Amino acid sequence: MEKILVVDDEKSMRDFLGLVLKKEGYFVAVASEGEEAIKVLQKDIFDLVITDVKMPKLSGIDVLKAVKETASETLVIMITAFASAETAIEALKEGAYDYITKPFQIDEVKLIIRNALEKRRLRAENLLLRRELKGLATFENIIGKSEKIQKVFETVRKVADTTSNVLILGESGTGKELIARAIHFDSRRKDKPFVTVNCSALPETLLESELFGHMKGSFTGAISNKEGLFEVANGGTIFLDEIGETSPAIQVKLLRVLQEKEFRRIGGTKDVRVDVRIIAATNKDLDRAVAEGTFREDLYYRLDVIPIHLPPLRERLEDIPLLAQHFLSKFSQTAGKNIKGITPEAIQLLKSQEWRGNVRELENVIERVIAFITGDMIDSEDLRGCFQKPSQKDAWALPLPEEGLNLEELLNRLEGEFLLKALERTRWVKKEAAKLLQMDFRAFRYRLAKHKVTPQNKT
């Protein structure tokens, strides 16, 4: 239900617009003057503000400016009995969506409001679409004929159109997000938003703001009101990836959303109700995390209504030829190469690998081979370079130049390069990168800051 704030110093006008808009199905709040309107805007987020221009103390233009400072996504329609060009132009320059003049036809007002709210919905959908397209940049489909993956598909078909929460368990790179998407787009919520959140990619304070939103001034950097992703996902599905990495404080807030279907923004005073299906995923052993006290037992049981276990690639080797061919078609087209297929020897080599990175690692290997291949078939020789990993002893067998070297400078440069390589391999999931380098997470973060390693360092 869209929320509209009506601001007018005439009680008859407030009551009239409030009654009409409530009959249209909107949630309506009212304010009798500008100062009251600004106080209301500081406590809640509205889709649309309808304000009179001429009011005592603060004018409608002042309200418009406050809206743009506090909640830039909120649209504003001005009402004036003074149909001067100067007033209208000033309002539009300050960012008003439109204006209407008194006396007006109520059908005209309804149409302008519908158009304004439709514009806001389209803007929100475009932002969500860009986010989703970014999220699709990993690998496009889960493919397989193995018994284990077919059982997963069967479970997805059975549970997709229920309202139950789902917990997807599996190693990194097995395709947990793709299964979550399949559940959403095969459900009755498919026309509503599907929102993804990587819970391990943000520190606690930013994750809380991302999930639940905040009000202006609630913390340093909160320069305007912001809706959380639970609000964005209202009516649809939210996918909480790496749920096992959340802090106890975030877990408490998630539990409340699961139990009460409501939450409170950071710095907010009102509860926000939402209808959201939650699909969570983790590569951690949550039973162990509960036993160790790092994950709340009550939250675990709320999430684990329908568990789905995704098998690692080493347990579904018969799917490797299908997956490899899929990635070959995808990347050869992107590279503009006409690669016909993969030799049986190359397939056997692929099947003999450990695949600790699962399907994601296989995808990376095929992409790398296609970038360098000159023939029209991928053979085992094309692949061997991807799997010949030097031992740690060999990795440090560097020659000492005759003229000597600056050891401190070399070690410093190597440390920075390995930090960057670890982050790139784990797709910038810092905790995974720290594990890859067998480092304590605090020490890892210290070295990142020391070397100023950011996504902009990528070449």
* pLDDT band, residue 109 (cuts 50/70/90): confident
Q: What is the pLDDT of residue 200?
A: 87
Say if residue 125's pLDDT is above 80. no
Least confident of 120-124, 223-227, 309-313: 120-124
3-state secondary structure of 104: coil
CB of 444 within 8 A of CB of 430? Answer: yes
How far is residue 176's CA from residue 140's CA, in Å, rounded to a whole number? Answer: 12
Least confident of 129-133, 226-230, 269-273, 421-425: 129-133
CB of 70 within 8 A of CB of 23? Answer: no
How far is residue 215's CA from residue 333's CA, in Å, rounded to a whole number? Answer: 47
* pLDDT band, residue 283 (cuts 50/70/90): very high
* % of the chain residues with pLDDT over 90: 43
Reported as a single tens digit per residue, the pLDDT across 245-259 is: 999 999 999 999 999
Q: What is the pLDDT of residue 136?
A: 43
Q: Give the residue, 229 or 455, on which the prediction is more confident.
A: 229
* pLDDT band, residue 334 (cuts 50/70/90): confident
Q: What is the pLDDT of residue 403?
A: 75
Say if residue 399's pLDDT is above 70. no
> Which residue in this structure is represented by tokens 């949550």?
286
Q: What is the pLDDT of residue 84?
A: 59
Q: What is the pLDDT of residue 280?
A: 97
Q: Which top CATH class is 3-124?
A: alpha beta
CB of 77 within 8 A of CB of 97? Answer: yes
* pLDDT band, residue 429 (cuts 50/70/90): confident
* pLDDT band, residue 404 (cuts 50/70/90): confident
Q: Mean pLDDT, to the nearest integer, of 290-319?
A: 94
Q: What's this model's pTM, rounded to 2 decimal places?
A: 0.63
Q: What is the pLDDT of residue 139?
A: 34
* pLDDT band, residue 237 (cuts 50/70/90): very high
- The pLDDT mean for the chain works out to 86
Reported as a single tens digit per residue, the pLDDT across 202-235 is: 888 889 999 999 988 888 878 888 889 999 999 9
Please report, for residues 53, 97, 118, 357, the alpha-carbon distance to residue 74 in angstroms, rounded to integers and kept in the order given.
Answer: 17, 10, 12, 44
Q: What is the pLDDT of residue 147?
A: 93
- 161, 164, 167, 165: which is closest to 189 by C-alpha? 161
Q: Mean pLDDT, to the nearest integer, of 237-251?
A: 94
Question: Looking at domain 314-387, which CATH architecture does it have?
Answer: Orthogonal Bundle (1.10)
Q: Give the residue, 121 or 341, on which the prediction is more confident.
A: 341
Fold identical between 3-124 and 405-457? no
Q: Mean pLDDT, to the nearest integer, of 156-182?
A: 92
State the first-to-last Cα distance of the chain, in angstroms, to the nearest integer. Answer: 46
How far is residue 174's CA from residue 355's CA, in Å, rounded to a whole number? Answer: 10
* pLDDT band, residue 347 (cuts 50/70/90): very high
Say if residue 69's pLDDT is above 90. no
Give CATH superfamily name and number for 145-311: P-loop containing nucleotide triphosphate hydrolases (3.40.50.300)
Domain boundaries, the chain: 3-124, 145-311, 314-387, 405-457
Say if residue 398's pLDDT is above 70. no
Beta bridge partners of 77: 50, 98
The reply to whether CATH 1.10.10 applies to domain 405-457 is yes
Q: What is the pLDDT of residue 137?
A: 37
Reported as a single tens digit per residue, the pLDDT across 136-153 is: 433 345 788 899 999 999
Q: Mean pLDDT, to the nearest integer, of 140-167?
A: 88
Say if residue 337's pLDDT is above 60. yes
Say if residue 314's pLDDT is above 80. yes
Q: Give the residue, 118 or 257, on which the prediction is more confident.
A: 257
Q: What is the pLDDT of residue 44?
A: 86
